[in-house]
């Protein structure tokens, strides 16, 4: 999927201006064939406005409490298979390097299942996906649907033959239980 990111800021004299306009390339990993991760914007702390034109983006997938991320994630059909000749050790290293923090919350014995200290607001842009909860409950979501995921154990599945693209706002939270 092609994603264009336009960033506004403040020009000299205090007027609004476009300070960035670029294509955001997807992050892909061998461990998740067909998946795409587009990191759009984020901060590890409360942002200040106007945002300076030179802002470094955080590296970790999940923000700490008070931080946020905005991304697009494409979930491939469940039938997407890993390459037969996959070097698992190298694939895990690649996953950690390209998507730091995401691998640490994934459960090896239950592929896709994970828990993070975040509130995730997810909007289905295209396709269909099933949100699976740890009690076995499943909710099917399609284009135009959204879900607010409040730091609970869950996984995304795609039982269809088409990819599902989601826009995700991730807000760092403090876990109380």
Confirm whether 3 is domain-assigned.
Answer: no
Confirm whether 119 is domain-assigned.
Answer: yes
Average pLDDT over residues 96-106: 94
pLDDT of residue 126: 98
Q: Given a cut of 80, is residue 52 above it in pLDDT?
A: no
Confirm whether 93 is domain-assigned.
Answer: yes
pLDDT category at 1 given cuts 50, 70, 90 is: confident
Confirm whether 8 is domain-assigned.
Answer: no
Number of folded domains that form the chain: 1
pLDDT of residue 34: 94
Domain that holds residue 115: 24-172
Q: Given a cut of 90, is residue 139 above it in pLDDT?
A: yes
Reported as a single tens digit per residue, the pLDDT across 91-100 is 999 999 999 9
Confirm whether 72 is domain-assigned.
Answer: yes
Average pLDDT over residues 127-136: 95
Confirm whether 33 is domain-assigned.
Answer: yes
Which stretches of 82-127 are assigned E, i.e. beta strand? 118-126
Among 114, 134, 136, 121, smallest CA distance to 166 is for 121
Q: Given a cut of 90, is residue 116 above it in pLDDT?
A: yes
Average pLDDT over residues 153-166: 96
Residue 14: DSSP 8-state: G
| Residue 50 to residues 16, 117, 170, Cα–Cα distance (Å) | 9, 28, 21
What's 37's domain CATH number? 2.60.120.10
Confirm whether 12 is domain-assigned.
Answer: no
Confirm whether 11 is domain-assigned.
Answer: no
Q: What is the reported pTM?
A: 0.92
Please compute Rg for the chain using Cα positions: 17
């Amino acid at each position: 999927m092609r994603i264009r990111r336009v960033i506004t800021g403040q020009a000299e004299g205090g007027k609004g201006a476009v300070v960035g306009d670029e294509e955001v390339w997807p992050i892909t990993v061998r461990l998740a064939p067909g998946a795409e991760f587009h990191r759009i914007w984020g901060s590890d702390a409360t942002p200040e406005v106007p945002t300076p034109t030179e802002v470094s983006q955080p590296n970790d997938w999940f923000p700490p409490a008070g931080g946020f991320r905005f991304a697009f994630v494409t979930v491939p059909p469940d039938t997407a298979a890993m390459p037969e000749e996959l070097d698992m050790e190298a694939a895990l290293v690649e996953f950690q390097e390209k998507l730091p923090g995401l691998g640490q919350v994934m459960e090896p014995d239950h592929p896709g299942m994970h828990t993070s200290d975040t509130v995730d607001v997810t909007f289905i842009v295209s396709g269909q996906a099933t949100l699976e909860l740890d009690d076995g409950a499943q909710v099917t979501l399609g284009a135009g649907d959204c879900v607010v995921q409040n730091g609970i154990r869950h996984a995304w599945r795609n039982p269809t033959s088409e990819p599902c693209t989601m826009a995700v706002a991730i807000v760092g939270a403090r876990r109380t239980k």
